[in-house]
Amino acid sequence: MSRYVLPLSVLGTAVGGAVLLKDFVAGGACPSKATIPGKTVIVTGANTGIGKQTALELAKRGGNIILACRDMEKCEAAAKEIRGETLNHRVNARHLDLASLKSIREFAAKVTEEEEHVHILINNAAVMRCPHWTTEDGFEMQLGVNYLGHFLLTNLLLDKLKASAPSRIINVSSLAHVAGHIDFEDLNWEKRKYDTKAAYCQSKLAVVISTKELSRRLQGTGVTVNALHPGVARTELGRHTGMHSSAFSSFTLGNLRLTADANHKPSQPTSASFLKLRNPEDHKCGVTHQLHL
């Protein structure tokens, strides 16, 4: 009998550890039932994943939601689905390609002209570990979309955000920024062998650094700026990686698609970007270290 003790102990430890890890990566839930009637919210990359769920939850709370996406077919479908589920008809789809500076300028100009206010800007869209692609303007894709595109968008909407104060900017970063290093001599990876992981970490570090600086510059304006790590979920962001293909990751991540499940009711979004909207400390600017869900 004793010869089975060690193998069973190891198996039990492994299974228990996997279950705990699964619970950990599921993240927290937001219990707030606060509403945001009359507030205009822009969510980039809102046709799927974290962005879509964030838009859905904010639409439930009465916001005027703008889904800003590259793929208009998916964006229109997401907007229609959200309107149907929430009965909030102030949910609209607009074209925004963060890999095109022209598209960003056109989007910002349209928002500035047509929207009286912009109260919340959620810079959520991202690309992760794609091949060595470049944006329309020649920037390395991950840095171009994850950081530079949102940097330009934010600055173009800054006057509108200030005029709408109190308002806020939420930058979805990643814990991966901790491993990031920015090579200012080779931002486009033209002198080195391209490393998809390092390029992703670089882009998210750039997001965190710029968030800190912008929050400093905007002190006293009524505009708060925060960056956050949203936790782990099975979304399309990982389509260029093998993170969802293994049996272990499939078990660990399960059906974490930021939708309702046994642990997260529809009124309790797992999205950290939504958590940041109502955190008691959300008047503080800067990088939100405590929301590593």
Q: Per-residue pLDDT averaged across 232-239, rounded?
A: 51
DSSP state of 91: E
Does the pLDDT at position 78 exceed 90? yes
Does the pLDDT at position 187 exceed 70? yes
- What class, spelled out in words, does domain 35-291 have in CATH? alpha beta
Residue 159's pLDDT band (cuts 50, 70, 90): very high
CB 227 within 8 A of CB 211: yes
Question: Poorest-confidence range of 123-127, 146-150, 183-187?
Answer: 183-187
Which range of 8-12, 70-74, 234-238, 281-285 scores highest in mean pLDDT? It is 70-74
Does the pLDDT at position 113 exceed 90? yes
Looking only at the bridges linking them, the beta strands covering 91-95 and 286-287 are unpaired
| In the chain, beta strands by DSSP E | 40-44, 64-69, 91-95, 120-123, 167-172, 223-228, 286-287
Does the pLDDT at position 284 exceed 50? no
- pLDDT tens-digit series, residues 6-51: 555 655 566 555 555 555 555 556 677 889 999 999 999 999 988 9
Q: What is the mean pLDDT of the chain?
A: 78
- pLDDT tens-digit series, residues 79-93: 999 999 999 999 999
Active site residue 147: no
Among 127, 153, 150, 151, smallest CA distance to 140 is for: 127
Overall pTM surpassing 0.85 (yes/no): no
Strand order in the sheet with 91-95: 91-95, 64-69, 40-44, 120-123, 167-172, 223-228, 286-287
What is the end-to-end Cα distance of the chain in Å, rounded?
42
Joined tokens for residue 121: 């800007």
Residues 4, 147, 194, 200: which is the catalytic one?
200
Can you give the residue ranges of every domain in the chain? 35-291
CB 142 within 8 A of CB 200: yes
Share of the chain above pLDDT 70, in %: 65
Phi, psi of 247 (to 5 degrees): -65, -40
Distance separating alpha carbons of residues 40 and 145, to the nearest angstrom: 23
Does the pLDDT at position 156 exceed 70? yes
More confident residue, 228 or 20: 228
